[in-house]
Amino acid sequence: MAKEYGRKDRVSSQMQKELSFILQREVDDPRLGFVTINEVEVTRDLAVAKVYVTVLNADADGKKANLKVLNELAPQIRHLLAKRMRLRHIAELRFHYDDSFDTGMRVAELLSEVAKNPPTDEG
């Protein structure tokens, strides 16, 4: 019987918390906007971590620029993460943009439009 909440999941969860703290308090780069860590997916061998982020109040170019900066800072962020987590090896960080927030906002806009102007049945 498989474990419900295995080591990979525990490491992902802890890594998400620590990365959020690091980006909020320890990384001081003026090129970064308001970055939120949505999810961290760690491979089974804990070698690579896909970090899904959103950037609030940024256009498409701003999101790409923030993602580029995060990937440039990944080795430094990884070093800070190693100081905070008790692991023999820290995963390589790869930052990806999570567009689920944008998609959710678009769906909410469409639903509010439908609520304001309900379709009429003329058939």
At 37 the three-state DSSP class reads strand
Q: Which residues pair with 42 in a beta bridge?
A: 49
Write the burial class of residue 67 (CB in 10 Å: 0-12 exposed, 13-18 middle, 19+ buried): middle
| Residue-range domain boundaries for the chain | 7-116
Tens digit of pLDDT for each residue in 90-111? 999 999 999 887 788 889 888 8
Q: pLDDT class for 122, splitting at 50, 70, 90?
A: low
Q: pLDDT class for 38, splitting at 50, 70, 90?
A: very high
Q: Which residues pair with 52 in a beta bridge?
A: 39, 96
Strands of the sheet containing 48-56, edge to edge, are: 34-42, 48-56, 92-97
DSSP E strands, 20-111: 34-42, 48-56, 92-97
Q: pLDDT class for 33, splitting at 50, 70, 90?
A: confident
Q: pTM of the predicted model, to two decimals?
A: 0.80
pLDDT average, residue stretch 32-57: 93
Q: pLDDT class for 3, splitting at 50, 70, 90?
A: low
Q: What is the C-alpha to C-alpha distance for residues 66 and 45, in angstroms, rounded to an integer? A: 28
Which CATH code for domain 7-116?
3.30.300.20
At 96 the three-state DSSP class reads strand
The pairing of strands 34-42 and 48-56 is antiparallel
Q: What is the C-alpha to C-alpha distance for residues 110 and 55, in angstroms, rounded to an integer? A: 22
